[in-house]
């Protein structure tokens, strides 16, 4: 029985370790409170589908979380090695909360609740406004 419990704890610890925010994430969706509360009509959904199939996006918004607690966020264009408008930041994860921290003072500047964190998916929402959400997929 002790071996079974030890095995379960080992597996659980391994899964928690494997699911880390460290890496490069591409933003796939972002909703403000207004967008979250609005319901689209059938016509709007149909038009959005038609526009999406003809318009290919050549830019990607990426966020990079490094092991040392630093990161950067920016917009990357097809064919470019470096992103534009790169913004460096410091972060830490505390339980189910992702915190952006001021480098000099160490004060928390933004807080997000981690709704979902899998090997390939990250969903967060603003800790103060649950209706503002962002979704990401792992790029690397």
Q: Is residue 133 packed enough to be buried (19+ CB in 10 Å), middle (13-18) or exposed (0-12)? A: buried
Q: Where are the domains of the chain?
A: 22-138
Is the pTM higher than 0.85? The answer reads no
- The CATH class for the domain spanning 22-138 reads mainly beta
Per-residue pLDDT tens listing for the chain (140 residues): 544 443 343 334 334 434 699 999 999 998 888 766 666 667 766 666 666 544 455 678 999 999 999 999 998 877 666 667 789 999 999 999 999 999 899 999 999 999 999 999 999 999 998 889 999 999 87
């Amino acid at each position: 029985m002790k071996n079974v419990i030890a095995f379960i704890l080992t597996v659980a610890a391994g899964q928690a370790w494997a699911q880390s925010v460290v890496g490069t994430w591409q933003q796939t969706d972002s909703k403000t409170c207004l967008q979250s509360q609005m319901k689209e009509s059938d016509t709007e959904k149909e038009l959005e589908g038609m526009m999406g199939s003809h318009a290919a996006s050549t830019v990607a918004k990426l966020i990079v979380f490094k092991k040392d607690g630093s990161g950067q966020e920016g917009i990357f264009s097809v064919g470019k090695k470096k992103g534009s408008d790169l913004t460096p930041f410091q972060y830490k994860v505390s339980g189910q909360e992702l915190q952006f921290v001021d480098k000099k003072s160490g004060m928390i500047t933004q807080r997000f609740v981690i709704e979902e964190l899998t090997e390939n998916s990250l969903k967060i929402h603003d800790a103060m406004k649950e209706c503002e959400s962002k979704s990401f997929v792992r790029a690397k």
